[in-house]
Structure 1
Amino acid sequence: MLTTEAAFTLRKWTVKEYHKLGEMGFFHPEERVELLSGNIIKMSAKGTAHTSATRRTASVLSHLLGNQAAVYTQDPIALDDNSEPEPDIAVVRIDPFDYATHHPTPSEVYLIIEVADSSLTFDREIKAKAYARSGIADYWVLNVGDRQLHVFREPAENGYQSEVIIGEHGSISPLEFPAFNIAIQAMLPPLVSN
């Protein structure tokens, strides 16, 4: 039986090649892209709920953690030779040179948070697998639409072995900082009545 579909393989990019493309001006200056598992992903536009949740969460974490960790927003993380995502929030080990010579690597990452308004499936499935393969022990997806926090832990090669969903009235402690309890509601945009 003849088939019209031919087998094909996508060409995967390395971080080094991805940086070279950026240096050559391949991406428009305002284009938001990231490299994940060798694929260049165009990031979706940030809505107001996404922006508010990112700001609020970064502020809560910065206030709680003080000088125990650095809180970065939408900065690159070097997972491996084929992945350099830009998570909405990364809580990382403090570097005396403020990561001037390299992006934080998995061994320097305490927590990654993605804020999802239109990207929930992508963040829960594709990004979760990439973070798990890299050994990120604590990965959260803040679902602003359903006002929930998806907590992924126990990373393995094929993904996280644990996912717990916490409603907006619950709270959580980061694995690396169990003394700090964070209200989910403090991370979410406030509900505004019309």
Structure 2
Amino acid sequence: MTVHVTRALDGFSRRAFSVAEFERMFERGILDDSENLELIEGEIVPMAAKSHVHERVKSAILLVLARELPRNLWLGVESSLEMSEMTLVEPDLVIYPKSFRLREVRGPDILLAVEVADTSFRFDRDHKARLYARYGVQELWVVEANSRTTYIHREPRGGAWTSIAEVPASGLLQPGATDLQHIAFRLGELD
């Protein structure tokens, strides 16, 4: 049996887990379904509890996207996405073709991933954004829930985003994917 290892910021090696092992921990009750966890490059990472403002912003974006979504696409809410054997993430919102089953969806299949953040903003904007770029997600929005400022990441290349734009709450948000370009809204105008 191969034991995967990751290296923490302190320089010490840690036992890394695969997605299959992570899922078995839930199945066997080692981890509880109520725990808000992601597997990031083999490390089990607890996610912050969602605040009222986080849920309001996420729901507002969800309602706009759901109303305008073409029939050939699927809008997932906190869907578990296996980016690799060692990474399982749950973006707040994700859009991908209906022709894929959730277990088949990989980075390049994702037209838009949305991470709404308040206390986890720095982690989502920096570390998690690089992760999404590495796996080829087509577009990522990181929304700072309190200010409703959105950081739009596009054109992943070589594990990094070649385009990052900061859009204030009063600015127009419009996805870049061809099937989504008819959607346009301002976060500052949503309740």
TM range (shorter): 0.7 to 0.9
3-state SS of 1:50 partner: helix
Matching residue within 64, 68, 71 for 1:64: 68
Partner residue, 2:176: 175
Partner residue, 2:122: 121
Tell me by how many angstroms 1:171 deviates.
0.9
Partner residue, 2:31: 27
Structure 1 gap segments, 5+ residues each? 1-5
Name the TM-score, length of structure 2 as normaliser: 0.86
Partner residue, 1:17: 21
Supply the AA of the counterpart residue of 1:125: D
Matched, 1:130 2:131: yes
Deviations, residues 49-84 of structure 1 (Å, cap 9, x unaligned): 111111111111111114131111101111111111
Supply the AA of the counterpart residue of 2:38: E
Name the TM-score, length of structure 1 as normaliser: 0.85
Once residues 115 and 7 of structure 1 are traced to their aligned partners in structure 2, the CA distance between those partners, rounded to angstroms, is: 30
Once residues 157 and 38 of structure 1 are traced to their aligned partners in structure 2, the CA distance between those partners, rounded to angstroms, is: 21
Once residues 41 and 155 of structure 1 are traced to their aligned partners in structure 2, the CA distance between those partners, rounded to angstroms, is: 24
Tell me by how many angstroms 1:32 deviates.
1.0
Once residues 91 and 31 of structure 1 are traced to their aligned partners in structure 2, the CA distance between those partners, rounded to angstroms, is: 24
Once residues 85 and 7 of structure 1 are traced to their aligned partners in structure 2, the CA distance between those partners, rounded to angstroms, is: 24
1:60/1:186 contact within 8 Å kept: no
Partner residue, 2:5: none
1:132/1:156 contact within 8 Å kept: yes
Tell me which protein shows more strand as a share of its residues: 2
Partner residue, 1:185: 187
Matched, 1:45 2:49: yes
Once residues 23 and 136 of structure 2 are traced to their aligned partners in structure 1, the CA distance between those partners, rounded to angstroms, is: 23
Once residues 136 and 187 of structure 1 are traced to their aligned partners in structure 2, the CA distance between those partners, rounded to angstroms, is: 27
Once residues 120 and 85 of structure 1 are traced to their aligned partners in structure 2, the CA distance between those partners, rounded to angstroms, is: 16
3-state SS of 1:57 partner: helix
Partner residue, 1:76: 80
Larger deviation, residues 169-178 vs 148-157: 169-178
Partner residue, 1:151: 152
Aligned residues: 181
Structure ID, larger Rg = 1
Deviations, residues 167-190 of structure 1 (Å, cap 9, x unaligned): 1111122121353242232685x3
2:42/2:86 contact within 8 Å kept: yes
Q: Taking structure 1 as reference, are residues 178 and 54 closer, same or farther at Cα in structure 2, changes over 3 Å only?
A: closer
Once residues 71 and 63 of structure 2 are traced to their aligned partners in structure 1, the CA distance between those partners, rounded to angstroms, is: 13
RMSD value, Cα: 2.0
